[in-house]
Chain A
Amino acid sequence: MDPIALQAGYDLLGDGRPETLWLGIGTLLMLIGTFYFIVKGWGVTDKEAREYYSITILVPGIASAAYLSMFFGIGLTEVTVAGEVLDIYYARYADWLFTTPLLLLDLALLAKVDRVSIGTLVGVDALMIVTGLIGALSHTPLARYSWWLFSTICMIVVLYFLATSLRAAAKERGPEVASTFNTLTALVLVLWTAYPILWIIGTEGAGVVGLGIETLLFMVLDVTAKVGFGFILLRSRAILGDTEAPEPSAGAEASAAD
Chain B
Amino acid sequence: MTDTPTEQPPVMNTRSVVGLAACAVIALVGIFLIPTLQEPSGGLNVRFWTMAALELLAMGGVVYFVLNLHEEPE
Q: Which residues of A contact B (CB under 8 A)?
A: 45, 47, 50-51, 54-55, 58, 61-62, 65-66, 69, 74-75, 77, 90-91, 93-95, 97-98, 101-102, 105, 109, 115, 118, 122, 126, 130, 133, 137, 242-243
**Contact pick for B44, options A51, A65, A109, A137, CB 8 Å:** A137
Question: Known pairs A62-B27, A65-B31, A97-B52. 9 more at Cβ < 8 A?
Answer: A50-B69, A58-B27, A74-B35, A77-B34, A90-B48, A98-B55, A102-B62, A102-B63, A130-B52
CA distance A122 to B20 in the complex (A): 17
Q: How many A-B residue pairs have CB under 8 A?
A: 89
Query: Can you give 24 A-B contacts (C-beta < 8 A)?
Result: A47-B10, A47-B69, A50-B10, A50-B70, A55-B62, A58-B23, A58-B62, A65-B32, A66-B31, A69-B32, A74-B32, A75-B31, A77-B34, A94-B30, A94-B55, A95-B31, A101-B59, A102-B62, A102-B63, A105-B62, A118-B67, A122-B59, A130-B56, A133-B48
Instruction: Tell me if A's interface is mostly helix, strand, loop or mixed.
Output: helix
Q: How many residues of B are in contact with the other chain, CB < 8 A?
A: 30
Identify whether the interface residues of B are mostly helix, strand, loop, or mixed.
Answer: helix
